[in-house]
Structure 1
């Protein structure tokens, strides 16, 4: 655990009060990236770090990763459990058990509906934050009893859904429809974004790409440098024809996937190109064309590689400055 660094006063929202954190800044639960060092650095700085459950090869390994995180910070952190249809589903019940047995009380769910998991988490006093890409899914998640929602706009990395609604519309629409706290995801990487999200009615922000380009992110430096060098134009939307759209980095592989599907190909035709194992090689070996890898439009706003804790403090400070500048226009 690091020594306490000077920090700004708490930035209180319904989300920070719900989870007992200082700042409404959440590190997204990214596959292969959400490990102890990154999650702990974000939480230690006052945000909410997220350990990604399925990055760990087994529930036992997840329990060890949670313990490693706890040794690095005594502040709240969460665990991401992404629920997606697969040929060989992970043992979700065992991962759930590892989470609660490790004493974690904050879980971010994503992918399919969290309904099959809600009763178990409720019994163990786990607060669920469910990531949604539409207002209708967010409203359903609220009915299921989640504690908060993460509303994911079209700008995001990974799966933005099929409605193509950007955050500028999606966030206030969610604010009008929900009664529980919610945070905004997709396109956020700095204090301007945090201030904008709060102005639009959100209770905080979730950032993936920005923390992917942090010092603690366990990915090759070439990946981080590509994010800095890239613009907001350097992503690809793949799987559009399959109604399973994903936003990934533009590279030789994603270009090929788009071409094959545009020419009438089907998933079996691209499956060898899009395996998770190939994407993992990008992060581990730094070969940017080894496979597909997720990154959001916000990469066009990322200018540096910085410690995750510094990013949290910088983002909050910038948001305060933006808010103060805006109030000057009302004088």
Structure 2
């Protein structure tokens, strides 16, 4: 895909920022790790150069998988926001507003509390599957109740109001599960709902890497159709787009991405809202390039938030969902006041 003139200078800038944030994420935390120790850990692991020191083991077993998973999670959340905003032709839509995040939270909480009782065990895929089931249930409930029966269309106001109601329902369900849970389970659910990357490991990196890679390339294949959809559903249908099929498949891609990330990180807000909105104002709404740009920018933003979460209360760690919310709210309000933006 040739790079447009608008985004020609953006990609190198975002890649450079990504390299810087990866280095910051790898080096700083409760324990600081020098670049020499990072190089030593990588060379010993890849080339077999002897036993790892304590800091090198921390880097290979904790810091590196967390850094990589943070990149994947940030990219997925931002791309999910792009897909939903393009699908509903509204820049304020994001996964949390249509029930996807709260549904995934409910599914994961259900697994934490009742997984053994229900004998639900699919090995390493159990938690992602539970979160994905909850996310799909919530999202399609929102769409089902907000869709006009006669025309099969969805009014954005009705969608958002229905999303508020379904979010409240599933958050109540998660709260009830926290109430009946034993102390370790309740504590896990509480921290999980605030968002955390402390549980990231190579297992999570492998699962999310495979799933998000497939979903990302599928999302790219729909970007031209999403561009046509901006003109309106009737115009898109006249151009040969199967609108209902496009909606269904894009929603499935979005739900899978957000559910898998949410299963491992908990609820992280505002990444999927702020990143696409900022890039769209800055460089335009062409989804062919916006998806890639948002993936890079989302990875940068979440990595910076993760570094802040580790350093602000060091050696303790602040939940990353708090950091993204505190940073995202003023930025989003600033963007809205800086430039009135409409699709």
Higher relative contact order (CA 8 A, sep 6+): 2
Larger strand proportion, structure 1 or 2? 1
Compare CA radii of gyration and give the structure with the larger one: 2
Q: Same fold (TM over 0.5)?
A: no
Whose helix fraction is larger, Structure 1's or Structure 2's? 2
* TM-score normalized with structure 1 length: 0.27
